[in-house]
Each structure stands twice: as C-alpha cells, then as structure tokens.
Amino acid sequence: MNRLKLVILLIFAFAFKINAQNVVHLCEGDNHNFGVPPTVGSIYNWQVKNTIIATIVSGNGTEHIIIDLNNPGVFQLFVEEIDANGCSGYDSILVEIHAKPTPNIFALGPISFCEGDSVRLQVDSIYISNIWNNGISAISILVDTTAEYFIEVEDTNGCVGVSSSIFTLQHPNPDVAFSIDGICENMPSLFTDLSTIPTDVITNRIWYFGDGSDAYGDSVVHIYEDNGDYHIKLIVISDFGCLDSISRVISIYNQPTADFSFNPYTISTLQPEVLFTNTSYNANPELWSFGDSTFSILENPIHIYDDPGIYDIWLTVSDSNQCIDSVSKKIIMYYDFVLYMPDSFTPNDDGDNDTFGPKGMRMEKYQSFQFIVYNRWGSKVFETENIAEWWDGNNAPIGVYSWIITIKDELGKIRKEVGSVNLIR
C-alpha cells in the first residue's frame, strides 16, 4: 500500500506553521482548505478524529476539502486514496486549533469630556500586533473626538481578534461673546451675554467687571463710579460643565455736565417770552422740557408761556460717547393784574360809550367776579357776577356814582378795586 503525503493547499484568513512533529497550527472559527496532490481516477476519503473540534463541510471524496474549525483543541485529519486500480494509500496530520484572542479595551478616564480635553484608550494585554480602527498601531491611543473605537490584535499563534467598541463623546465648549450698552460713569451699563453652544445648554454665566465686583446672569446691570479703562471677563459654563471665557477692555467715560441760563430771570403775562441758553460742558442738547407739556431740541430755544405759574425746566444733554446728563431749574411767570375803568360814560344810545364796565387782561381766567354800582346815597343801582355784563345807566339821573369790583384772580388771590364814574347825558 502506498503512503500519501498530505499537504495543505489553502488556508484562508490566518497563517499556519508545521513544527517538527508535523502539527499544523490554525485559529478557531475559520474555514480552511486541505488537500493532496490529485491523481486521475482516484477517490479520496477524509476523516476528522474529534468532530467536536472540526467538521468537514464540503469536498469529501475529492482531493480538496473544506473544514470548519469549531473549537480550540487538537484533532487528527486522515485521508485515504483509492486509485483506479482499487489500490489504497493513506496519510494523516495533527492540527491544533488555537482560540482567537479576545482583547478588551478600557478608558483611563471619563469617555465623555469637554472640547480640548481627551481620554486615553488602552488594550488589556500585550499582542504581536495592535491596530486601532483609526489606523494607529499602538497599545494605547489618545482620543479627543466623538467617535467609536475598537482594536484588532494578533497573538503569537497568528490568530486575530477584535475588541468590543467604546464610544467617546466630546461636549462642545461655549462660543463666548457679550455686548455692552452704556459706557458712562455713574450711569447703568447693561451687559448682555451673546454666547452660543451647538449642543448642550448654557447654565451659568459669571461676570467680572474689573473694579472688584462680579455678578451672575445672562443680562446684568453694573454702574461704574469712576471713568477709566476696565478689564471685563465673562465665563460661560454648560450643563455638562464645559466652559470658555472672553476678556475685553472697555472704556468708561466722564459724564457731561448739563447747565443752562435763561433771560429774563422772571416773566409775566405782559412779558411771557424767555430765551434759554445752553451752557453745558462738552455736550449738546438732546431735549428741552419747558414744564408746560412743550419741548424743543434747539440749541438755544425761545419759549413763550401762556399762563402764570412756577415751571420746572429740564435740559437733557449728551456727548459724543452717548453719555447723558440733565439739569432742572425753575422759572416763575407772574400774573400782571390789569384792570381799567373809565371815569365817565354817556348812555344816550348813540353807540359810543353807552355802557360802563371793566376792561383788563385775562379776565376770562378769573375764578370769581362781582361788580356793584352805588348812587350818591349809597343805594345799589347795579350788580352782576357776569364779567361780560356792564351797567347801561338806564333811568339813572346824571351825576357821580361809586363802584366796587371784587374778584378772585386766576392764582386765587382776592383783589378789590373801587372808584367813581360820572354819568353824562
């Protein structure tokens, strides 16, 4: 009987080696090709000793078979060749199946981290070859992005294993920005956070105003007591704890000094016009308020008051930095009491000087009015509380009559005027 020489024709996926005892080393879980040199007309019967470890899946009866390597261990592979003449020959080989490596990777720190931070991933053992899925060949790698990571290793038997994955998550830092409205001393400065973040949520904001004070919030108001340059810092923190900051130097400017003069210093109903002159330092008028619900934006306005009284004049000014100041002064408009009574009248129906009564300024503003005429014996011949009603002298003899007028003027002052009139016909 001839003895065959078993050779390995093909082994997919893993390398193999034959030692001095004619043992083939392979790796668990792969399909491998085994074969012998073919002879025309021969039939080949293959047999695996210990089918728990390996199973012939195809090719039995031919010179080439495929075996499924099921589990780690050692098995013997036999082949018998029966040629066309019915003669038989056989051979065998020992095959050792090695378990694939099962690498584990672990993180040397948190796998969720902030932008700019990182975590080191490391394999748990030493292997002949270590290749991470990002192409780096090393036992450990430093990662700083959101991604999935695993490693492929090869052991001393040439077997290859792949680890399970670790997912790392990078949280973004806030993109910090802010605005300021108001840069004048002793005036409110409004600081507004304009920071953004693509994911997560901004939860904390810490403001440092450069004058030893700080505050918290997305929009805060601060008052600087002195002008000058201040180093502002804003720290913004997300709900994960990622933070970033921004620093700016801002200038706080002097307030302008608002002031004005006016002429004349007092006015009256006869002279109600007043000139206001802006005397503010380094500032221009924003608004004049004259205290009578009228306003002006002129540099030096002229204003005419309609009614007596005390008026609060306000001037608001601003400078080139939009800093604002205001000042208030009072002006008094006095009431000129003007009342004229003729000393004679001629009630003869000629259309000229036929009635007798008072004339004056702003009489329609009187709060009360009483007009009485007496004859020479003191008897009342005429009386009215209607300022538009005058004495017509009808049926009154010629002569001298006395009169009295009592009024409460528009300021509430009681005034009494007396005199006489000559009735002429």
CATH of residue 280: 2.60.40.10
Report how far residue 319's alpha carbon sits from residue 296's, in angstroms, rounded to the nearest whole number: 18
The answer to whether residues 244 and 191 belong to one domain is yes
Report how far residue 353's alpha carbon sits from residue 14's, in angstroms, rounded to the nearest whole number: 139
DSSP calls for 60-127: BBBSEEEEEE-SSEEEEEEEEEE-TTS-EEEEEEEEEEEPPP---EEESS-SEEETT--EEEEESS--
Lowest mean pLDDT among 11-20, 53-62, 125-134, 337-346: 11-20
- Whichever domain contains 89, its CATH number is 2.60.40.1080
Which domain range does residue 413 map to?
339-423
Last residue of a domain, one of 252, 269, 292: 252
- Secondary-structure breakdown of the chain: helix, strand, coil percentages, each rounded to the nearest 5: 0, 55, 45
CB within 8 Å of 320: residues ≥ 6 apart: none
Given this model, what pLDDT does residue 337 score? 87
- Is residue 388 pLDDT above 90, yes or no? yes
The answer to whether residues 294 and 243 belong to one domain is no
CA proximity to 128, closest of 119, 137, 136, 117: 137
The answer to whether residues 51 and 91 belong to one domain is yes
The answer to whether residues 133 and 192 belong to one domain is no
Last residue of a domain, one of 46, 71, 98: 98
Report the DSSP pairing between strands 344-345 and 414-423. Answer: parallel
What are the φ and ψ backbone dihedral angles of 365, each rounded to 5 degrees?
A: -90, -5
Average of per-residue pLDDT across 107-136: 96
Helices (H), 146-220: none
The answer to whether residues 209 and 165 belong to one domain is no
E strands in 2-42: 2-3, 7-11, 23-27, 31-35
The answer to whether residues 167 and 186 belong to one domain is no
Lowest mean pLDDT among 30-34, 65-69, 83-87, 342-346: 30-34
Average of per-residue pLDDT across 230-250: 97
Report how far residue 267's alpha carbon sits from residue 276's, in angstroms, rounded to the nearest whole number: 13
Report how far residue 362's alpha carbon sits from residue 409's, in angstroms, rounded to the nearest whole number: 9
Q: Do 395 and 375 contact (CB within 8 A), yes or no?
A: no
Report how far residue 227's alpha carbon sits from residue 323's, in angstroms, rounded to the nearest whole number: 12
Instruction: Please give the residue that has the higher pLDDT: either 172 or 255.
Output: 172
User: How many domains does the chain fold into?
Assistant: 5
The answer to whether residues 209 and 127 belong to one domain is no
Distances, alpha carbon 18 to alpha carbons 21, 23, 160, 390, 409, in Å:
8, 5, 19, 146, 132
pLDDT digit string, tens, across residues 179-234: 999 999 999 999 999 999 999 999 999 999 999 999 999 999 999 999 999 999 99
Last residue of a domain, one of 138, 171, 204: 171
CA dihedral 142, 115, 149, 131 (to 10 degrees): -30
pLDDT digit string, tens, across residues 340-375: 999 999 999 888 999 999 999 889 999 999 999 999
Report how far residue 209's alpha carbon sits from residue 196's, in angstroms, rounded to the nearest whole number: 21
The answer to whether residues 78 and 132 belong to one domain is no
Given this model, what pLDDT does residue 23 score? 87
For residue 174, whether the previous peptide bond is cis, meaning omega lies within 30 degrees of 0, is: no
The answer to whether residues 86 and 113 belong to one domain is no
Given this model, what pLDDT does residue 5 score? 45
The answer to whether residues 7 and 66 belong to one domain is yes
The rounded mean pLDDT for the chain is: 91
Lowest mean pLDDT among 13-22, 79-88, 207-216, 225-234: 13-22
The answer to whether residues 139 and 86 belong to one domain is no
The answer to whether residues 14 and 93 belong to one domain is yes
- Whichever domain contains 398, its CATH number is 2.60.40
